[in-house]
C-alpha cells in the first residue's frame, strides 16, 4: 500500500499523522464542530454562491468555489489571484464567520504554527467526479504562514507531492472532519484531489466540502 503515514500522537478521538516534513493530517479534528461549520458555509454561500471558475488556460474547474474573509481567491482568463471583491456580485466577499477562523487558528496551533490568523477562506465543493489537478498554492503574498485545509462530507484521496509537478506523490485518504496543515518546507509542494467517488454523507449529501484557510496578505 502507498499509505502508511507516521502516527505522531494519539489522543483517542483525534490523532496526528505526518505526510512528510512540515505536512500533517489532524485526523477527526473538525468532526465535533462539523454541523456548525457547514452552517457557516451555507451562510457564506447564500451571499456568495458556489461557481465554477475558468482557468487561465480556458478550462472550467470541476470543483465549484466560494470565498469569505477579506481576500478571496479568483481565477479567470487573466490568471489566478486574490481579490477583495467577489467578481460576480462586485461586492466584498462575506466576512469570515468566527467559527471558521477560530477552527483554523486552533488547527494551526495543534500543528505547531502559532498565531495563524487567516484573511482568506476558500470553500471548494466537489460533486462526484470533480477533482483538483496537481498545483501549488502560490498566490499568497508570503509563504511563512501554513495552509489549513478542512474536509467535510464525502471522502477524498489527497495527492501530496514535491516541489516539481512530476515528483512522486503520496496518496492520503481524507475523511469527514480531517484537517491537513502544511507549511515550512512543504508550503509550496504540489498537491491535488483525485476524482471524488460517488458517496453520501448525512451532512453534505453527495458532496465533499473543503474549506482552505490562507494568509493571502
Residue 117: CB minimum distance to ligand AKG, A: 19
Q: How far is the CB of 144 from ligand AKG (least distance, A)?
A: 18
Cβ closer to ligand AKG: 12 or 61?
A: 61
Which of 137, 140, 178, 207 lies at the binding interface for Fe ion (CB under 5 A)?
137
Stretch that binds Fe ion, among 13-21, 33-41, 130-138, 194-202 (CB under 5 A): 130-138
Residue 122 interacting entry, from Fe ion, ligand AKG, none, C-beta within 5 to 8 Å by type: ligand AKG
* Alpha-carbon separation of residue 63 from 25, 124, 159, 217 (angstroms): 22, 6, 16, 24
Pair 213, 124: CB distance under 8 Å: no
Binding mask 164-203 for ligand AKG (x = CB under 6 A): ---------------------------x-x----------
- Judged by beta carbon, residue 137 or residue 207, the one nearer Fe ion is 137
191 annotated as belonging to a binding site for a ligand: yes
Site for ligand AKG contains 212 (CB under 6 A): yes
CB 61 within 8 A of CB 75: yes
Please identify, among the stretches 83-91, 106-114, 122-130, 135-143, the one whose residues bind Fe ion according to the rule CB under 5 A: 135-143
Angle at 149 between CA 199 and CA 198, to 5 degrees: 10
For residues 35-46, b (16+ Cβ closer than 10 Å) or e, as one string? eebbebbeebbe
* The CA-based dihedral angle spanning residues 33, 38, 39, 42, taken in that order and rounded to the nearest 10 degrees: 160
16 contact choice in ligand AKG, Fe ion, none (CB below 5 to 8 Å, kind-dependent): none
Q: What are phi and psi of 35, to 5 degrees?
A: -60, -40
The number of CA neighbours under 13 Å toward the Cβ of 83 is 19
- With respect to Fe ion, which residue has the nearer C-beta, 86 or 137? 137
C-alpha to C-alpha distance for 167 and 151, rounded to whole angstroms = 24
Task: Catalog residues that contact ligand AKG under the rule CB under 6 A.
Answer: 122, 124, 132, 137, 149, 151, 158, 191, 193, 210, 212
Amino acid at each position: 500500500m502507498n499509505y502508511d503515514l507516521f502516527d505522531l500522537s494519539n489522543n483517542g478521538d483525534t490523532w496526528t499523522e505526518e505526510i512528510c516534513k512540515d505536512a500533517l493530517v489532524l485526523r477527526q479534528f473538525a468532526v465535533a464542530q462539523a454541523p456548525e461549520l457547514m452552517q457557516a458555509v451555507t451562510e457564506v454561500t447564500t451571499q456568495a454562491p458556489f461557481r465554477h471558475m475558468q482557468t487561465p488556460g480556458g478550462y472550467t474547474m470541476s470543483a465549484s468555489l466560494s470565498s469569505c474573509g477579506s481576500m478571496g481567491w479568483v481565477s479567470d482568463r487573466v490568471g489566478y489571484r486574490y481579490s477583495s471583491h467577489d467578481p460576480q456580485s462586485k461586492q466584498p466577499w462575506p466576512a469570515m464567520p468566527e467559527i471558521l477562523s477560530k477552527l483554523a487558528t486552533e488547527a494551526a496551533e495543534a500543528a505547531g504554527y502559532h498565531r495563524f490568523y487567516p484573511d482568506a477562506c476558500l470553500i471548494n465543493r466537489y460533486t462526484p467526479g470533480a477533482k483538483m489537478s496537481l498545483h501549488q498554492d502560490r498566490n499568497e503574498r508570503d509563504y511563512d504562514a501554513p495552509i489549513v485545509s478542512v474536509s467535510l462530507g464525502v471522502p477524498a484521496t489527497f495527492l501530496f507531492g514535491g516541489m516539481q509537478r512530476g515528483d512522486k506523490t503520496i496518496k492520503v485518504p481524507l475523511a469527514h472532519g480531517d484537517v491537513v496543515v502544511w507549511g515550512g518546507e512543504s508550503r509550496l509542494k504540489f498537491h491535488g484531489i483525485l476524482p471524488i467517488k460517488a458517496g453520501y454523507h448525512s451532512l453534505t449529501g453527495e458532496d465533499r466540502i473543503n474549506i482552505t484557510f490562507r494568509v493571502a496578505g
